[in-house]
Structure 1
Amino acid sequence: MKFLYFDEGACSEIISERVFQSPEFELGKLLISVLRGTTPKARLTFRCVATSAADGVFVLTPEKGVQNYIVIDLEEAKDLFQLDDSGLLLSIQKTFRFATKCWGGLKPSVNERILTNNKGIVFPYPIGMQTALRVCIDRNPDAKRRVSRDTKKALLLYKFSDNEGIGVAEEPRLTNFRKAWENRSEGYALAAQQLQDLVNLTGNGSTSLAVTELRGANKPRLVEAGLEGWISVLTNSQLAFVNSSLTVPHRIEGPAGTGKTLCLVLKALKTLKDASTAHIPHQLLFIAHSEPTRRTIENLFAMNGGEDFINADFEVLAKPQSIKVTTLQGLCAHLLKREISDSELVDRDAYESKLIQRLYAIEGVENALRDEYESHLPFLSESFRKFLTETEKWAIAEMLQHEISVQIKGRADQDLNKYKKLDRLKIGFPVENDGDKTFSFLMYQKYQGELEAAAQFDTDDVVLSAISQLNTPIWRRRRAREGFSSIFIDETHLFNLNELSVFHRLTKSELQQPIAYSVDRSQALGDRGWTDLSFEAAFDPSGTLGQSDPTRIRSVFRCSPEIVDLAFSVTSSGATLFTNFHNPLTASVSAFTAEEERKSRTPAYLSFASDDAMLEGAFDRADVLAREMGVLKADVAVIVFGDDLFARCQEFAKANRKPIEVVKSRGDLDAVTRAKNSGRFVLTAPEFVGGLEFAGVVLVGVDGGRVPPNGSGLEFEPSQNFLNYAAHQRLYVAITRARFRVEILGNMARGMSDILRSSVSAGLLDANASAA
């Protein structure tokens, strides 16, 4: 095989259908096999076929007749086919989008160039990936010979390389292009016959492709498709996860916007429906991280045909097949219902609970430094002393809260001797010796004392108490009857080791752990030390079940390619910090069609003269974005960075009578729905925006000294590293909430945040945008 010939209709079909955007779809794999020549004869859609002729493959839409076309010279551009399947498909998609613009007389995009010699250059990969690989295209090949014999516009992909070659003087070899051009009549005849044969064979010629359900101006997703409806539009990896039997812990992992929660819901529904069909009792437990997320997931079950399975309480015998959707706090409160009341919980919502815990942590830090620092000073390392004296108290408290959750309670069971034996977190409390850990433990005890004085229990206290209830002869006897047949956990990355240690005790048998859980480790605040082995140990502490079954999703459905590239640049900019930071975007691909890409824009950075001007500009920009995209005000979220600025923004909105709905709980879809129904803006902070999605987002206060926080009192490296880590994570979460548009606002006096500078230099963020 020496060439590939695609006509304009075929290019349009390939860039318009979601199933051709990723090799995770079956038809995406089919297209790759056509490109590589392993399947030279195939039907791609009901009007587009591939056929073999004259040492090449023609991919055509014969019913439209001879059209504009692009030829790929396989001998000259052989390096293109050395890419893996995702890279090859990405490059072809970018090339066909460029070709469509050339034929339509449209301007090139930011990753495309038109040279003075009429050649075209396409950079398929984000520049932040440190690659200069490019597709080289002749925009009028063999012009003299074709001028009187060919009325169609032709393109020739003649080179794929990471160097410029000889520049504008470069001339492609035309042997294979001429062969393709001269034999296209034969190609069209064969394609038309092939398509007719397929019509006769099927009797209607209407479908080898049931994929257009996901297309539409304002409904990119079918949240009410039901299990059967969703099956037809899932990727291969998603479908394999949904259909696989749950005998060992099964992890579904991927970046934001890949459909992890949906896949968990569908897998749970299929599990229950299979059990119902087989008349097998099955009690399923589904754990959400927060109360708003719990309500959203419960609604998702109801809308997709699972309403009859939903159990209002924990009575496992209420229905033969049932599902209980709850938070970890709600589960533990149920297990401890005779020992703890709701008033003793810090908060039933996990996220709200952790915010209140931070207030107790500040009290613990201040009390320990005031009462105990001088007596422990001789035993502290020099670096830890510097940390305690040069870091602001709120930053120490945030890091202490993390240390308590992950280390002291999460791994050491609140035992000082066990804590001293643990390795320190790479991004966390800078404890160097036993003296440092002793003083850290003392701060923890002060924090615990504040809890006891308030007669409350934090999340870890409740979980550890619940675990003790599950480690008794009574529960072991009742487990087979009262345990759950399967357990599903959403956003596992937000739980610590203690919290995850509950679930393997709740299954009906300790010999099987039918647990499915979703993970995006880059959304977890700070260094939690999560690895494949640590997840396996949490759900199989005995190590007797064998290796768990992971599914990794690469296709990002929520975000445009421009937003994926910006998010990749943000996570990559912290590479020197994140020695154990999992960056799921390195292998991700956007599943956006060309139609969806047209709604998108390069993310922009806007500077304002003052914070007041920036807050006013935030609502103005949200209004402009809503008008430009033709969506409701509530479809553009205003996300404010920094507690002080978030409070000021709420006051500004109230004083200026801006219609707002404030989201103060993670994943609060009910608040977003209220905003849509009342025509209000959605105002929130990065801590609360996880689990939601919008057409666009306006990020406010992403500037120097605020993201990440620094300046007076924050020069000490470990504390600054932790805050940098947290800032990258929050910015990643906020950016990936948007489908089409991202605008970032900053104070001109503060300057741009360092996190964004690499994005600007790579052309992924437009710093010259106008707020007008």
Structure 2
Amino acid sequence: MIKTLIIDEETVNVLSYASIKPLWFTDYQIPLSLEQRIKRVQISDKLFLISEKTTSESKLLVIKVNSNGIFSELDNKDKSIAFDRVITIALSQFGESISPGKGWGRYVSGKKLSIYATKRTQKNKNRLYFDTSPIDTNHIFAYALDSNNNGFENIEVDESLFLDSVTLIDEAINSSWQNTVEADDKTQYGIELTEDLYRSFGECLNFEQWYENKLTNEQRSFVDKSYDEPVRLKGAAGTGKTLALAVKILKDAYRFETEKKQKRLLFVTHSFVTAQLVEDMLNSMDSEMNWKFLEHVKIKIVSLYDLAQELLNYNLKKFTPISKDGKEGRKLQFEILEEVLTKKLLEAKFKVGVLGKCGDNFKSAMESKESRKPLLLEILNEFACVLDAENIVMGSDNGDKYLTSSRENWQMHLPTEHERRAVLELHMGFRKYLKDLNVLSMDQMIADLNRYLMSHEWNHICEDEGYDGVFVDELHCFTRPERMVFHELFRLNKSFETKKLPLFMAYDIKQSVDDNFICTVKKGSGSALINSTNVGKTNLVELTQVFRYTPEIAKFLSDLDGSFPALDLASEWSELTLKTNTPSGAIPKLSLYSDPVDLIDNVFKLASRQARSLSGKKTVAILCSNFDLFEEYLIAGRIKKYYEPISSRDDVTKLGRLKGKCIFSMPEYVAGLQFDMVYLINLDKVEVDEDNPSCGAYRRFVSRVYLGASRAKEELHISACESRQGYSPILQPALSSNSLLMS
């Protein structure tokens, strides 16, 4: 009987692409179709799944799989789910840009970590237990399954079993392959390697071939930029900003390696999903993945929140950030603030003594469930950019000054002391809620990070731990305090006072579906967007050529561009002009339905039928432009069989296993991804305020439509409801120019 399953870091990556069925857990066989990637070696009761690159220094995942191992009490259908979660935890501990799902109930105590083995129910409370540094090694040990919530101190870690396993790694490396005969239709082993859709990356070209043969002149101009000044890369969705960043960091790394220069390069994203996409890009451009093992150059790819957690050593403490993904974290923070406000409104002291003294508009927005969302988003931005950033709390000296001091014009409009007091009260309730959950908000963590980067400790270690070049993707997603982090990450930052920092930033303001980027700009000053990075004057490269979607979709996006409010962003806001060499396709279509029920009955059936008929060769997505409707549709039983939901950034990891299924999501959850066909639903007239086109709600809606439409590569279908006043007026320019046709 096999007691432990030992998997090296490289094979953990391979298995993260695999679709695994219960049959595989019988004896963990590997078919010949995977022989080039996975070597199966059994030594006594220890089974090794390793790669040809495995060395005695490789990080290992050790899983206890005997009669009381982590799969022993699970139903067959749950074993695959639990194994997938084990792989995810291993990847996150090995430094990959991936994060446990928000519903996994992650709990950390020192080196120990636990999560739910499967979806938690009243009957199923099984938890998986891990030691993330067993016997002070860099391996990870999945050592127990427990349904009684006994806690770490009451569950034994069999260190001898772990030690007996890892000490055999050299013998496993030198052993011959023990893979089985190739599986046929009658003999399947329950494992199939499927490339995740979000990880697929076009043509198999190395970075030199991309540079010489595929990049546009604009992209190549950016890649050629030197390290003597900061550079910003601006371009619409689909113009290849991330690709240009990826080619540049690889090309520069190999040049530095050839020159034997000791360099540390950092690639920072707003989302762990984007970080994983970038890593897959680099793996595609360097199929041997030699970039991970360069002698003189180190490349790190990470979300800002993973980086913060690492620098602040949160993994060794008894609390965690609310999320390691920017978009997911901010969604959770909004839900918490909404709950805090709901409870506050039940308190007479707050409702009468504080809110009752506020202006009528502020008060009515707070009290109305239907209209409070824009205000709460602004308040969260105030938390991020002012209160948490400057450690302002109710009752402190800073809090007293906050109530009466003058405000800069990029800050939230709070004209009187009463409105500010209401915000401080909500902030106090928000902080208490987080503390009770034993978590930090994204903004609290970033505030801690900014303070740490100004500390004596960082000043001592930044020569070793700092970076010689920093690459930032999705700059438009970061808040002002987050953008202030980047310039402090360089080696001996103070020595750069007379030099310009090599900070390379890619962004598209029009993809920003919240106000984190916009609300921190002084009116009329587009340059303030970049000035908040504290790197001085920057060089601009603008991308205008699209290679991700058809000319017809590009034309629609150009017409949609006229609906964006100008927002006083000066030179940062220019008219969208796109050129594309991709093949022509169908003109985007607009369909009108009588009501939301009629819409979902028709759209979901059609999208599901297309996904099945394409047999997984093409991807189909339904994207909803309205958050409340999205939540309603998710609980509508009549359409559940037609789709797989992507309701958070964590869920994106499902995509590779959804052959023949369409997905249902919102544009912000699939940012950075592409689908062959996109159904963009509920672009209704009621979504926008025609009399106030510059307001935040209007701008966010247009950005969400722009983001969703630009996810389509070949076909774009748009729908609206007559019961919701018909289609949105933002579509009229496209209808008038025939870049959008009524179906």
| Smaller-chain TM-score bracket | 0.5 to 0.7
Where does residue 62 of structure 2 map in the other structure? Answer: none
Q: Does 1:441 align with 2:429?
A: no
Q: What is the Cα deviation at residue 613 of structure 1?
A: 2.6
Where does residue 676 of structure 2 map in the other structure? Answer: 695
In structure 2, do the counterparts of structure 1 residues 556 and 339 end up closer, same or farther at CA, with 3 Å as the change threshold? Answer: closer
Where does residue 586 of structure 1 map in the other structure? Answer: 575
CA distance in 2, matches of 1:583, 1:621: 40
CA distance in 1, matches of 2:650, 2:508: 15
In structure 2, do the counterparts of structure 1 residues 570 and 413 end up closer, same or farther at CA, with 3 Å as the change threshold? Answer: farther
Q: Does 1:605 align with 2:586?
A: no
Root-mean-square deviation (Å): 3.4
User: For structure 1, which segment, 603-612 or 690-699, has the greater mean C-alpha deviation from structure 2 after superposition?
Assistant: 603-612
CA distance in 2, matches of 1:421, 1:224: 56
For 2:565, what is the secondary structure of its paired residue?
coil
Q: Does 1:533 align with 2:527?
A: yes
Amino acid at match of 2:377: E
CA distance in 2, matches of 1:377, 1:499: 31
Where does residue 635 of structure 1 map in the other structure? Answer: 619
Amino acid at match of 1:384: F
Q: What is the Cα deviation at residue 283 of structure 1?
A: 1.4
CA distance in 1, matches of 2:589, 2:381: 33
Q: Does 1:402 align with 2:358?
A: no
Could you tell me whether the CA contact under 8 Å between 1:344 and 1:456 is conserved in 2?
yes
CA distance in 2, matches of 1:492, 1:456: 25
In structure 2, do the counterparts of structure 1 residues 620 and 409 end up closer, same or farther at CA, with 3 Å as the change threshold? Answer: same
In structure 2, do the counterparts of structure 1 residues 662 and 388 end up closer, same or farther at CA, with 3 Å as the change threshold? Answer: closer
CA distance in 2, matches of 1:319, 1:459: 35
CA distance in 1, matches of 2:359, 2:474: 37
CA distance in 1, matches of 2:740, 2:289: 50
For 2:742, what is the secondary structure of its paired residue?
coil
Q: Does 1:521 align with 2:509?
A: yes
Q: What is the Cα deviation at residue 325 of structure 1?
A: 1.1
Q: What is the Cα deviation at residue 623 of structure 1?
A: 5.4
Q: What is the correspondence of 1:448-597 to structure 2 with a 5 Å cutoff?
A: 448-510=431-493, 511-512=495-496, 513-524=501-512, 525-526=514-515, 527-530=518-521, 533-540=527-534, 547-575=537-565, 578-580=567-569, 586-593=575-582, 596-597=583-584
For 1:258, what is the secondary structure of its paired residue?
coil
CA distance in 1, matches of 2:662, 2:409: 43
CA distance in 2, matches of 1:244, 1:378: 56
Could you tell me whether the CA contact under 8 Å between 2:612 and 2:661 is conserved in 1?
no
CA distance in 2, matches of 1:239, 1:766: 33
CA distance in 2, matches of 1:615, 1:647: 13
Report the count of equivalent residues.
524
Amino acid at match of 1:280: K
Q: Does 1:283 align with 2:264?
A: yes
Where does residue 729 of structure 1 map in the other structure? Answer: 703
CA distance in 2, matches of 1:667, 1:226: 29
CA distance in 2, matches of 1:346, 1:325: 21
Write the deviation string for residues 394-429 of structure 1: whole angstroms up to 9, x where unpaired. 443333223323444458866543684333559xx5
For 1:528, what is the secondary structure of its paired residue?
helix
Amino acid at match of 1:437: R
Q: Does 1:302 align with 2:283?
A: yes
Please, which runs of 5 or more residues in structure 2 have no aligned partner?
A: 1-199
1:357 aligned residue (333, 343, 351): 333
Where does residue 156 of structure 1 map in the other structure? Answer: none
Could you tell me whether the CA contact under 8 Å between 2:325 and 2:649 is conserved in 1?
no
For 1:322, what is the secondary structure of its paired residue?
strand
Amino acid at match of 1:601: A
In structure 2, do the counterparts of structure 1 residues 588 and 768 end up closer, same or farther at CA, with 3 Å as the change threshold? Answer: closer
Q: Does 1:376 align with 2:354?
A: yes
CA distance in 2, matches of 1:285, 1:228: 23
Write the deviation string for residues 73-95 of structure 1: whole angstroms up to 9, x where unpaired. xxxxxxxxxxxxxxxxxxxxxxx
For 2:308, what is the secondary structure of its paired residue?
helix
In structure 2, do the counterparts of structure 1 residues 306 and 626 end up closer, same or farther at CA, with 3 Å as the change threshold? Answer: closer
Where does residue 239 of structure 1 map in the other structure? Answer: 220
CA distance in 1, matches of 2:271, 2:619: 22
Please, which runs of 5 or more residues in structure 1 have no aligned partner?
A: 1-218, 313-317
Write the deviation string for residues 569-596 of structure 1: whole angstroms up to 9, x where unpaired. 33422437x3449886714222135xx1
Q: What is the Cα deviation at residue 300 of structure 1?
A: 0.8
2:297 aligned residue (296, 312, 321): 321
Could you tell me whether the CA contact under 8 Å between 1:361 and 1:400 is conserved in 2?
no
CA distance in 2, matches of 1:293, 1:464: 23
CA distance in 2, matches of 1:528, 1:729: 15
Could you tell me whether the CA contact under 8 Å between 2:545 and 2:580 is conserved in 1?
yes
Write the deviation string for residues 711-737 of structure 1: whole angstroms up to 9, x where unpaired. xxxx9979x932222111111100111
Could you tell me whether the CA contact under 8 Å between 1:492 and 1:517 is conserved in 2?
yes
For 1:572, what is the secondary structure of its paired residue?
helix
In structure 2, do the counterparts of structure 1 residues 256 and 338 end up closer, same or farther at CA, with 3 Å as the change threshold? Answer: closer
Q: What is the correspondence of 1:135-174 to structure 2 with a 5 Å cutoff?
A: none
CA distance in 2, matches of 1:440, 1:602: 47
For 1:264, what is the secondary structure of its paired residue?
helix
For 2:685, what is the secondary structure of its paired residue?
coil
Residue identity (%): 20
For 1:639, what is the secondary structure of its paired residue?
strand
Could you tell me whether the CA contact under 8 Å between 1:261 and 1:518 is conserved in 2?
yes
Where does residue 229 of structure 1 map in the other structure? Answer: 210
Q: What is the Cα deviation at residue 651 of structure 1?
A: 4.6
TM-score w.r.t. length of structure 1: 0.62
CA distance in 2, matches of 1:635, 1:404: 39
In structure 2, do the counterparts of structure 1 residues 727 and 495 end up closer, same or farther at CA, with 3 Å as the change threshold? Answer: same
Could you tell me whether the CA contact under 8 Å between 1:746 and 1:752 is conserved in 2?
yes
Could you tell me whether the CA contact under 8 Å between 2:625 and 2:667 is conserved in 1?
yes
In structure 2, do the counterparts of structure 1 residues 413 and 762 end up closer, same or farther at CA, with 3 Å as the change threshold? Answer: farther
Amino acid at match of 1:695: D
In structure 2, do the counterparts of structure 1 residues 274 and 229 end up closer, same or farther at CA, with 3 Å as the change threshold? Answer: same
Q: What is the Cα deviation at residue 499 of structure 1?
A: 1.2
For 1:364, what is the secondary structure of its paired residue?
helix
CA distance in 2, matches of 1:764, 1:502: 45
Write the deviation string for residues 602-653 of structure 1: whole angstroms up to 9, x where unpaired. 221112233233113223443576699x784652211123334334444557
Q: What is the correspondence of 1:341-352 to structure 2 with a 5 Å cutoff?
A: 341=317, 343-352=319-328
User: For structure 1, which segment, 358-367 or 268-277, has the greater mean C-alpha deviation from structure 2 after superposition?
Assistant: 358-367
Could you tell me whether the CA contact under 8 Å between 1:559 and 1:590 is conserved in 2?
no
Q: What is the Cα deviation at residue 561 of structure 1?
A: 3.1
Write the deviation string for residues 48-74 of structure 1: whole angstroms up to 9, x where unpaired. xxxxxxxxxxxxxxxxxxxxxxxxxxx
In structure 2, do the counterparts of structure 1 residues 256 and 412 end up closer, same or farther at CA, with 3 Å as the change threshold? Answer: farther
CA distance in 1, matches of 2:365, 2:244: 44
